[in-house]
Chains A and B, each alone.
Chain A
Amino acid sequence: MCLAVPSKVIELKGEYAAEIEYLGNRRDVSITLVPDVKQGDWVLVHAGFALEIIDEQYAAESLKLWREMNDELAIT
């Protein structure tokens, strides 16, 4: 149900499609669910569609969180 991979938008192809790449594999997907997508964005791809744009800031924050938890644990 939730099998989806993060992929990079290589090239927008008109209003409705984009070429994405994941670890060297490229494919065209529909971007009708992410109308604001730009070239260079990373998106979640599921069944031939981009489902959402991945937020870089939140990604970095999520990783920062474990570092903080780690430091906290080291102190205790």
Chain B
Amino acid sequence: MNWQLLKSFRNPQIVKELSVILDNRIALVTGKLGRPPVLMEVCGTHTMAFSKTGIRSIVRDKIVLKSGPGCPVCVTAQTDIDMMIELAKCPGVILTTFGDMMRVPGSYSNLLEERAKGADVRVVYSPLDALKIAREFPNHEVVFLGIGFETTVPIIAMSIKEAVKQSLKNFSLFSVHKAAAPVISVLIKDQTLNIDGFILPGHVSVVIGESGFSFMAEETDIPAVIAGFDPVDLLQGLIMIIEMIVEEKKGVGNQYTRLVKPEGNQVAQQAIRNYFTEVTAEWRGIGSIPGSGLVLKEEYAGLDACRKFSVQAPPARKVKGCLCGEIIKGKATPFQCSLFDKACSPVTPVGPCMVSVEGTCSAYYNYDRGGNW
């Protein structure tokens, strides 16, 4: 293995040639369906990748590419942000978090503004950094905000293991971790959903394996492909899913074979099972989904910030008019939302679709508001 081989997945010449192949397949599927195919990518990082590489613009008039609820940051419920803020306000608490969370709006504020008001909120690259801070400041309570799907959960699990090993008394986790499969299951049960094919999250699949999405073959006729994030991966993923649509295949294909095994990473899966248990979770813009949240098991209650701290979030302030729930399911466009480009913009985001820098509404804000090239 060498960098040259891996770098090939970013090779513009290969991408160019794949685009020609993709065009050929698009012609086939458009002929068959009588319209362009409608695809949904279910991963915030895929949304970013399509935009950053410009591939979204290349396929713009040939494929309808929708962004699904796969951004764990953006779907974090307002009330969960409110709780994080209350924790941050507790005297002596050092709140540690991934950078992504800083601007996500709660009912009244966000972590960035709370830091400005004096809360000790620190951005970390890894949960291990949070453990380090806990060791460095034994007289402070260090709370780590756990966000992310199954890509990140095993990492948090191993960090909890480390915390136990080090007998850290001043460390705890506020978990808003979510599982990817349940929300996809909700989507595919929606009879009014107009999606011809799914692009599934590559790195979640690294952990849960192809088998983690095997339920799709049983629950729907809509095909899906697990794809990686480099430009060649994106194009191969699009080609594969379109071929499946043309051939009327169902089930899950795997484009990301160099990292996604049929059974996934079993060590990582075991780590999740050892430390976490499934609960009902609230998804911004969608609502409650049973079995979609991951919180620490009872035996680790001492490391669970929810149980360690008795804080209550203020009553949630609902914002009327946010259409993210419908937009996420591909049933509405940002232009149909009364808040779009008024109360809701990248600087003052309301729903997840705008919170994510590359969410559907953010993307429309940048691309479709009078930009022609």
Contacts and interface: CB of A to CB of B under 8 A. Distances in A.
Q: Which of B21, B203, B236, B271 has most chain A Cβ within 10 Å?
A: B203
B21 A48 contact: no
Contacts of A4: 151, 203
A61 to B, nearest CB: 7
Contacts of B148: 1
A58 B152 contact: no
A48 B155 contact: yes
B206 A44 contact: yes
B334 interface: no
Chain A contact patch, size range = 35 or more
Contact of B201 (A2, A30, A35, A41): A2
A1 B204 contact: yes
A7 B204 CA distance: 18
Tell me what chain B mostly uses at the interface: helix, strand, loop, or mixed.
helix
B178 to A, nearest CB: 10
B129 A48 contact: yes
A33 B267 contact: yes
Given A33-B154, A60-B5, A62-B258, A2 B203 contact: yes
A62 B230 CA distance: 12
Interface string B165-203: 000000000000000000000000000000000000111
Contacts of B206: 44, 51-52
Given A1-B152, A48-B127, A59 B18 contact: no
Nearest to B147: A1
Contacts of A44: 203, 206, 259
B74 to A, nearest CB: 10
B126 A49 contact: yes
B71 interface: yes
Q: Which of A44, A47, A51, A56 has most chain B Cβ within 10 Å?
A: A47
Nearest to A29: B126
B125 A47 contact: yes
Interface in B30-49: 43-46
A51 B8 contact: no
A51 B1 contact: no
A62 B155 contact: no
Nearest to A47: B126
Task: Please provide the 4 A-B residue pairs with the shortest distance between their CB atoms, ordered closest to farther.
Answer: A48-B126, A2-B203, A2-B45, A59-B258
